[in-house]
Amino acid sequence: MTKSEKVAFTIGKLQELYPSIPVPLDHKDPYTLLIAVLLSAQSTDVRVNKITPLLFAKADNPYDMVKMTVEEIRDIIRPVGLSPMKSKGIHGLSKILIDKYDGKVPTDIALLEELPAVGHKTASVVVSQAFGIPAFPVDTHIHRLLFRWGFSNGKNVVQTERDAKRLFPKELWNDLHLQIIWYGRDYSPARGWNLDKDIITQTIGRKSVLNEYHKKNR
C-alpha cells in the first residue's frame, strides 16, 4: 500500500466505525467545554464528567466562577488531580474572559493559549469542538496510533500534529481527531492491546510495531 492508500483506508474505516461521533467531555457551551478540557489534563474523561456537574451547578459561566474562591474550586475538582494548578487556572482565566472578552471564549487558538492553564492541545480542542474551526489536537491515543500506523515518527506531539495535518484533508480534521480517540480506546489501547481486533494496525501498521507485538505475544 502506498501512503495515500493507507490514509484513504484509515479514513474509510474510521468513518465506517464511527459515522456519528460523540464528544467525550460533557458540556453545554464553549466555556463549560474549556473548563472540562482543562480539567481533563492527566485525568480521565469519565472522572471529569463526574466532577463537572458538581462544579457547574455552582458556576457554569465566568461571572459566577469568579465569585468562588480558588480554594472552593479546588475542593470540588480535587478528584481529577492537579487541583492546585487547575483551580488557579479556572479562576484566573474566568477573570480574564470577563475583563478582556465580555465573558466570551475567544475563537482564536493563540488568544486561548494566553489564558492561564490553557495549552495548545486544550485550545485546539475548544476551537475544534466548540466552534467547528479545523484543528487536530493530539492526545495520547492519537500520538500512539499515528506512530503505530506509520504516519508519524512518534518523537513528540508537536511532530505528530504536524504530520496529521499534512496527511489528512483539513475538512476532516475535526471528525478524525475524535474518531481516532475512540478507535484508540476501543481497538488499539496502550495496555491490553489485541491486534486481532485492531484492523487498521493489522492492515497498515508499521512493521517494527507488528514485529514487537508478535514477539511479546508468542
The one catalytic residue in 26, 45, 95, 139 is 139
Q: What is the DSSP letter of 1?
A: -
Contact 137, 124 (CB under 8 A): yes
The one catalytic residue in 121, 163, 175, 198 is 121
Active site residue 99: no
Q: For the chain, percent helix, then strand, then coil, each to nearest 5? A: 65, 0, 35
Angle between helices 45-58 and 70-77 (to 10 degrees): 140
Among the listed residues 65, 64, 32, 63, the one whose alpha carbon sits nearest the alpha carbon of residue 48 = 32
| Cα separation, 81 vs 74, whole angstroms | 10
Active site residue 121: yes
User: Which residues have a catalytic role annotated?
Assistant: 121, 139
